[in-house]
């Protein structure tokens, strides 16, 4: 069983499923919940997980009845399908409730959590909670393990598959040709997030920053990559923009843009690691709802929200959060990246060094995760 209710979890799950199939052969059967990438690996999802892709304390509270109903549904699938192992990917709140239900229904079912809650950033008590709920943790960050091992939970650091994304097949010139951009024209890539709330809160300051930069640089090309999950929402918000960006949809076009762009303005998330891998310097932004932000301020313990900044222990890429996330400040941070090659190259080098720290010596994260799952697998005793 694989339970992956977020787009990033769907991608992790699909890679893991493919690696497990290489080990176990065609007889491997998948059940559970996932998105289109897991569907490509043969998982028929019990329901569409997009309704559970919420962020923020109060959004989560509003979705709570749906969370409980869907967690019950996952438990019913397990009771019917009798999986040999359950792998719960990311999505702390939802998968914790799934784990409790699976444990009650079948105490012998091995439960593996793939991706740790970020207890180094907030709520360290979650380490003990997780240790009581599952049998094994696969962590993608080397700095996660001590928090959980001291609570008695076996941990395998398997590395982050996002760090192995291959950009060699991307063609930077393809997008420049579509834009009609000259070789020296700067290109700003804008990535406003993959959740509705992120788009709603960031499109305003992102538009303001883009307009300020474009007004001062007529040759600046604006490119916006819209995640499939929010493409319609992004398009409706673009109607208000003073300078309409070139709109990209689809994975290949987004990755091309990362190699093409002079700099990027990005919502905090997995995309910041991808940009660093592509050699694109960036400014990172994030906003929460005001009430959620008040709660988060009381809980968050880390100085940084961007993973490679955390790994480096330094502000490698500028971060503009909450009230600090304004068009004026974002534009001021982006200006030297667009205008000063030496400044830009220095940030790229610092990002690359931070990525090496994040890798922690693991060269094949997905294969390491599959090996850890196989080692944790206990066959269910034969039915009488």
Helix (H) or strand (E) holding 274: helix 270-277
Judged by average pLDDT, the poorest of 195-209, 301-315, 343-357 is: 301-315
Total domain count, the chain: 2
- Same-domain status, 369 and 354: no
Residue corresponding to tokens 């994304």: 165
The predicted structure's pLDDT at residue 172:
84
| Closest listed residue to residue 13, CA positions, set 33, 56, 300 | 33
- Same-domain status, 33 and 109: yes
The predicted structure's pLDDT at residue 294:
62
Judged by average pLDDT, the poorest of 2-11, 47-56, 354-363 is: 47-56
Phi and psi (nearest 5°) for 205? -65, -30
Q: List C-alpha distances in Å: 100 to 107, 131, 195, 297, 341.
A: 10, 12, 27, 29, 53
The predicted structure's pLDDT at residue 57:
47
Judged by average pLDDT, the poorest of 33-42, 79-88, 211-220, 246-255 is: 246-255
* Residue 198: domain span: 172-359
Q: Which residues of 185-194 are buried (b: 16+ CB within 10 A; e: fewer)?
A: ebbbbbbbbb
- Same-domain status, 33 and 104: yes
- Same-domain status, 95 and 192: no
The predicted structure's pLDDT at residue 10:
95
- What confidence category does residue 250 fall into, taking pLDDT thresholds of 50, 70 and 90? confident
The predicted structure's pLDDT at residue 124:
82
- Same-domain status, 199 and 79: no
The predicted structure's pLDDT at residue 170:
83
The predicted structure's pLDDT at residue 298:
54
Per DSSP bridges, beta strands 221-226 and 187-191 are parallel
Residue 342 confidence (pLDDT) above 60: yes
Residue corresponding to tokens 């914790």: 96
Asked if 221 and 181 count as a contact pair (C-beta separation under 8 A), the reply is yes
Query: Which residues sit opposite 319 in a β-bridge?
Result: 284
Helix (H) or strand (E) holding 264: strand 263-267
- Same-domain status, 280 and 327: yes
pTM, entire model? 0.76
Query: Which residues sit opposite 213 in a β-bridge?
Result: none
Q: What is the CATH number of the domain that holds 34?
A: 3.40.50
In this prediction, residues 250-267 reach a mean pLDDT of: 93
| Closest listed residue to residue 265, CA positions, set 212, 340, 196 | 212
Q: pLDDT higher for 184 or 31?
A: 31
The predicted structure's pLDDT at residue 100:
97
Q: What is the CATH number of the domain that holds 230?
A: 3.40.50.2000
């Amino acid at each position: 069983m694989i339970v992956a209710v977020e787009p990033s979890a769907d991608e992790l799950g699909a890679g893991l499923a493919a690696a497990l199939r290489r080990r176990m052969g065609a007889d491997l059967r998948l059940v559970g919940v996932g998105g289109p990438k897991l569907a490509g690996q043969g998982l028929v999802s019990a329901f569409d997980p997009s309704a559970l892709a919420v962020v923020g304390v109060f959004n989560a509270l509003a979705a709570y009845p749906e969370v409980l109903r869907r967690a019950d549904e996952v438990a019913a699938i397990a009771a019917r399908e009798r999986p040999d192992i359950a792998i719960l990917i990311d999505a702390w709140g939802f998968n914790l409730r799934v784990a409790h239900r699976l444990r009650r229904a079948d105490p012998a079912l091995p439960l593996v959590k793939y991706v740790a809650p970020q207890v180094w950033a907030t709520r360290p008590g979650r380490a003990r909670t997780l240790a009581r709920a599952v049998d094994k943790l696969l962590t993608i960050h080397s700095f996660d393990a001590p928090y959980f091992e001291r609570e008695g939970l076996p941990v395998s650091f398997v590395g982050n598959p996002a760090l192995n994304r291959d950009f060699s097949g991307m063609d930077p010139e393809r997008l420049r040709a579509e834009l009609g951009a000259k070789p020296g024209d700067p290109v700003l890539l804008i990535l406003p997030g993959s959740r509705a709330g992120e788009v709603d809160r960031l499109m305003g300051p992102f538009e303001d920053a883009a307009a300020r930069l474009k007004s001062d640089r007529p040759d600046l090309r604006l490119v916006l990559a819209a995640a499939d999950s929010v493409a319609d929402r992004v398009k409706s918000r673009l109607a208000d923009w003073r300078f309409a960006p070139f709109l990209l949809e689809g994975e290949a076009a987004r990755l091309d843009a990362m190699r093409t762009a002079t700099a990027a303005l990005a919502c905090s998330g997995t995309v910041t690691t991808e940009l660093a891998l592509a050699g694109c310097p960036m400014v990172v932004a994030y906003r929460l709802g005001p009430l959620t932000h008040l709660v988060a301020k009381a809980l968050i313990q880390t100085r940084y929200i961007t993973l490679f900044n955390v790994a480096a222990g330094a502000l490698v890429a500028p971060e503009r959060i909450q009230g600090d996330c304004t068009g004026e400040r974002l534009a001021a941070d982006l200006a030297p990246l667009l205008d000063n090659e030496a400044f830009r190259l220095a940030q790229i080098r610092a990002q690359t060094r931070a990525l090496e720290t994040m890798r922690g010596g693991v060269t094949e994260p997905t294969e390491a995760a599959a090996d850890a799952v196989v080692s944790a697998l206990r066959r269910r005793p034969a039915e009488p």
